[in-house]
Amino acid sequence: MSHNTIETNRRMNKFDSHDSVWLFGYGSLIYKADFPYIERRPASIANWARRFWQGSHDHRGTPEAPGRVVTLVPEPGAVCHGMAYLITPAVFAHLDYREKNGYLRFASEIVFDDGGSAEGLVYIATSDNEAFLGEDSEQAIAQHIARSSGPSGPNRDYLLSLAMALREMGKHDPHVFEIERHLGDLKD
């Protein structure tokens, strides 16, 4: 599958007729909501784990030297914490462009931290997209992130902003925090 997913996502019309829909963010969408939303709530989704396994050719790297950003990978029993936004379908055009580097819209049950749940959508870059970099050790991922930069800035800023946002939410993510620790070791 091509890493440019804009047209594929435009054909995914499950929520197009809704007045509003919940969007689950687990990476930069936690701390960078550059779109209009009606409501914002801490939330989680089950059976998915956040991993720095997706290449970023357009934000935190370049086509020649992609950075690493997060995607979700299936993991039974896992809980991925993030932020849910109630949006209108008009926001899809912006999000489809923002998430164009391999991410597809998927329907998912979103559980709100303050109780209740709703069906919503989440953007996931699956392993069959051209930008998928795959698994590596947290130390190797930190080294990759340390040397990557793109139009949206240094890859390290993405990692550090995500780690800070998770801490502010009171959520622990061993994968993210271990990469952050290794990145800090590289600066010494």
The mean per-residue pLDDT over the stretch 30-50 comes to 97
Length in residues, the chain = 188
Q: Is the pLDDT of residue 109 over 70?
A: yes
Sign of CA dihedral 155, 161, 162, 167: positive
SS3 state at 4: strand
Stated pTM of the model: 0.90
CATH topology of domain 6-187: Hypothetical upf0131 protein ytfp (3.10.490)
Q: How many whole angstroms separate alpha carbon 152 and alpha carbon 47? A: 30
99 catalytic? Reply is yes
Q: Which of 7, 39, 99, 135 does the annotation list as catalytic?
A: 99
What proportion of the chain, given as a percentage, has pLDDT over 70?
A: 89
Q: What are phi and psi of 133, to 5 degrees?
A: -95, -30
Residue 173 — very low, low, confident or very high, per pLDDT cuts 50/70/90? very high
> What DSSP state is assigned to residue 173?
-
> Which string of b and e fits 20-51 if b means at least 16 CB within 10 Å?
bbbbbbbbbbbbeeebebeeeeebbbeebbbb
